[in-house]
């Protein structure tokens, strides 16, 4: 196997040559679990996957957890212990990324995965279908420069008219991304998923627990290679993925499976919001006032579209909610950085006073 088959392109190869030099090897992070890593690449004389850890210098220089390696990253490693262990020295610049606001009160980025070409946003037709959640995922994906594909699973549990209604509701909020309808029972739609999994391309599966992500991976792998949970009383499979990991498929495509995420807080996602709600931004350009809030101002083209039935009220409400959330967290992060800078200046002045 060659690194190109793991998604290495010419631009990444040039960056690696400059960053890794001749002393370090290039590898890709395939799994992360509570500070422990697996990396895949040329380890000694063979191509393989081995455990890795961060060097003390790397940890010391990292200003935030967002700078630490995540699944999909390309890293410069030093192979040791006869090719059975590796030390991570550098992370190459990310071509694309998935990130969210860190869980809890901490206003910081949490990196989820990197260097992804296509993100399958998975929703079940049965219990999990939720348009606001879909829009939130779309913002996250587009903010990182990743191509989204909506994957509707468990289509065998709804009628054809019901399925068509779900598709129309997605198109009704301005989503132009491809929609793939999938049944893990009948296998319908699996071949269409495979078409997006081109050799050397990296895809990921995003969605709530139990929507059929692991079952789909098993179909793509051709067997029951990943554990799945029993079906719950709601009819949804119980999620069993406990860590993010990159899976190399037989034909050369790659899939990143990851646990369902309960919190999808937005931070610094202005570009993703603009792309996801492009229909609202296009209408807003025709509002009378450039700072229109689309509330009760006269001459609001957005409100006029809602009143004409051309724009969903729920779609507009979710846009406002996500925009305000992102702006609030952005402001909180700026304030925290200012406090950190002010404290740094205080320490510098205090130290200078006693020198």
Q: What is the pLDDT of residues 141-161, one digit of tens each?
A: 998 999 999 999 999 999 999
What are 342's two structure tokens? 């002010």
Which of 190-194, 255-259, 328-332, 350-354 is predicted with the least confidence, judged by mean pLDDT? 350-354
What are 325's two structure tokens? 């959330």
Number of H helices and E strands in the chain, helices first, is 10, 13
- Over 70: is that where the pLDDT of 284 sits? yes
Fold of 270-349: Ribonucleotide Reductase Protein R1; domain 1 (1.10.40)
- Contact predicate 277/286, CB 8 Å: no
Domain boundaries, the chain: 3-91, 97-257, 270-349
pLDDT digits (tens, 9 = 90+) for 100-111: 766 666 666 788
338: helix, strand or coil: helix
Q: What backbone phi and psi angles, to 5 degrees, belong to 230?
A: -70, 160
- Quick count: other Cβ atoms within 10 Å of Cβ 22? 6
| Interacting residues of 312 by C-beta distance below 8 A, sequence separation 6+ | 172, 173, 306
> What torsion do the CA atoms of 246, 251, 253, 257 make, to the nearest 10 degrees?
-40
258: helix, strand or coil: coil
Fold of 3-91: OB fold (Dihydrolipoamide Acetyltransferase, E2P) (2.40.50)
97-257: what CATH class? alpha beta
pLDDT given for residue 295 in this prediction: 82
- Contact predicate 202/7, CB 8 Å: yes
**What is the torsional sign of CA 274, 280, 282, 285?**
negative
- For the chain, give the mean pLDDT: 83
- Over 60: is that where the pLDDT of 262 sits? no
Of 133, 154, 175, the C-alpha closest to 265 is 133
pLDDT given for residue 123 in this prediction: 92
pLDDT given for residue 97 in this prediction: 92
What integer is the mean pLDDT of 175-192? 91
Radius of gyration of the chain (CA): 23
Overall pTM surpassing 0.85 (yes/no)? no
CA–CA distance, 351 with 355 (Å, rounded to integer): 6
């Amino acid at each position: 196997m060659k690194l190109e088959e793991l998604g290495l392109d010419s631009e990444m190869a040039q960056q690696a040559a400059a960053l890794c030099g001749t002393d370090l090897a290039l590898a890709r992070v395939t799994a992360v679990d509570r500070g422990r890593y697996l990396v895949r690449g040329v380890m000694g004389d063979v191509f393989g996957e081995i455990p890795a850890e961060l060097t003390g210098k790397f940890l010391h220089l990292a200003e935030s957890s967002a700078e630490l390696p995540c699944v999909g990253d390309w890293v410069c490693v030093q192979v040791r212990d006869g090719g059975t262990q590796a030390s991570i020295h550098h992370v190459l610049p990310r071509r694309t990324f998935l990130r969210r606001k860190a869980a809890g009160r901490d206003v910081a980025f949490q990196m989820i995965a990197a260097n992804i070409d296509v993100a399958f946003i998975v929703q079940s037709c049965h219990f999990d279908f939720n348009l606001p959640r879909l829009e939130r995922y779309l913002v996250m994906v587009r903010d990182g420069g990743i191509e989204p594909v909506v994957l509707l699973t468990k289509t065998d549990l709804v009628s054809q008219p019901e399925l068509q209604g779900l598709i129309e509701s997605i198109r009704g909020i301005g989503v132009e991304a491809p929609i793939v309808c999938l049944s893990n029972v009948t296998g319908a739609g699996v071949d269409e998923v495979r078409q997006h999994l081109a050799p050397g391309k990296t895809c990921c599966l995003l969605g709530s627990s139990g929507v059929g992500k692991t079952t789909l991976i098993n179909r793509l792998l051709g067997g029951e290679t990943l554990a799945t949970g029993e079906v719950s009383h709601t009819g949804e499979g119980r999620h069993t993925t406990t860590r993010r990991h990159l899976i190399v498929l037989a034909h050369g495509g790659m899939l990143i499976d990851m646990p369902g995420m309960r919190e999808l807080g937005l931070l610094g996602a202005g570009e993703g919001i603009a792309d996801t709600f492009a229909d609202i931004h296009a209408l807003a350009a025709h509002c009378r006032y450039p700072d229109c809030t689309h509330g009760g101002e006269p001459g609001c083209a957005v409100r006029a579209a809602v009143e004409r039935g051309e724009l969903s009220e729920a779609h507009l409400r979710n846009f406002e909610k996500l925009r305000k959330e992102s702006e609030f967290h952005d402001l909180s992060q700026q304030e925290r950085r200012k406090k950190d800078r002010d404290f740094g200046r205080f320490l510098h002045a205090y130290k200078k006073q006693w020198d």
